Structure 1
């Protein structure tokens, strides 16, 4: 009888446990700190791993990119960057390139520039030039000669960026065009820039709603 009661109580306890909510997407590392596994060089600029970071250097007059091998739709991306010279850089999202070239045929850039007032955290591209940029009083958070923390969240047509913990933009894009594609680190044309990137992590938010990622 005692065994029957114990079994009944155990079954009731199990049935009373509520169903768990689906787990939030986990952070995944995009850079292992040792080599460029998972990345592809686009163009002829220099991309190597040095001292645990991705190092990019403009050595030609062309644009250069280091792109993920996987495409993404909705995501939350965080990374650290350091500008070791003057010049423009950025993180391209929802990107595609003309085969065999470094010509961007779709996508937009989250700006990186160590100069205050050059709109780091803003969005540029889609053949439109500047789409949105941060308020001037926010741009002083850039650390010109040190590591900076950048976070980019894309959820449908809503774009949110943070620089060093400060929200730079929260923008709903009425006509984003491309909504999936590669993520690419950029070096500007003209031989500009020496950049370092590290601690690159992503959450694939497409999986949050049970949707396939862009490459599935």
Structure 2
């Protein structure tokens, strides 16, 4: 009987101390993997596109259009992503995005992405820095003239999908580094 009381006491103490532990936080400058290569956890779908994960790659499957966006909003950050778009397709990464209205009309910033120019369906490397009112983006290491700078100061990160026959968008990586954290 005494052992049962000791065991119950230890379980209670462990549960109490576990509740006191601080949640993990991200410090300014640390990279966050927004895509875990296994699930769509942390992302929300708008539209009728079915997003799946296969062999560590996020893929669009069917549907007529929409946006897959993070469940958290961001303001000042550096973002890197690897995206592949098949022939005849186009996509975009939206940031500081609103979930109401069309991204081209609601103050969102957008980097438009098409099939790789070599026609081989290669992965694009996207790099975005958003700080204050200034947004810069590069595509495959060069300047990208397909950037629409919006007016929103904070918002979601999203991946757009436009149905165009056999359109397919694939994402293997999305990382974000906060540049300024405020409570």
TM-score, scaled to structure 2: 0.73
> Which of 184, 187, 197 is equivalent to 2:171?
197
Match of 2:56 in 1: 52
Task: Give CA deviations for 1:26-75 in whole Å, capped at 9, x if unaligned.
Answer: 11111111101111111111211111011013x333x2111000001011
* Unpaired segments ≥5 residues, structure 2: 1-26
- Cα offset for 1:198? 1.3
* Unpaired segments ≥5 residues, structure 1: 1-22, 117-141
Q: 1:64 to 1:92 in 2, by over 3 A?
A: same
Match of 1:3 in 2: none
> Which of 121, 136, 139 is equivalent to 1:145?
121
Match of 2:21 in 1: none
Q: 1:115 to 1:28 in 2, by over 3 A?
A: closer
Question: 2-side partners of 1:204 and 1:145: how far apart?
Answer: 30
Match of 2:160 in 1: 186
Match of 1:70 in 2: 72
Task: Tell whether the 8 Å contact from 2:34 to 2:174 is kept in structure 1 after alignment.
Answer: yes
TM-score, scaled to structure 1: 0.63
Task: Tell whether the 8 Å contact from 2:116 to 2:122 is kept in structure 1 after alignment.
Answer: no
Question: 1-side partners of 2:80 and 2:119: how far apart?
Answer: 17
- Cα offset for 1:86? 1.6
Question: 1-side partners of 2:40 and 2:120: how far apart?
Answer: 26
Question: 2-side partners of 1:82 and 1:97: how far apart?
Answer: 24
- 5 Å matches for 1:98-137? 98=100, 103-104=102-103, 105-114=106-115, 116=117
> Which of 139, 152, 162 is equivalent to 2:138?
162
Consecutive aligned runs of 4 or more in structure 1 exceeding 6 Å deviation = none
Question: 1-side partners of 2:79 and 2:53: how far apart?
Answer: 20
- Cα offset for 1:85? 3.3
Are 1:34 and 2:8 an aligned pair? no
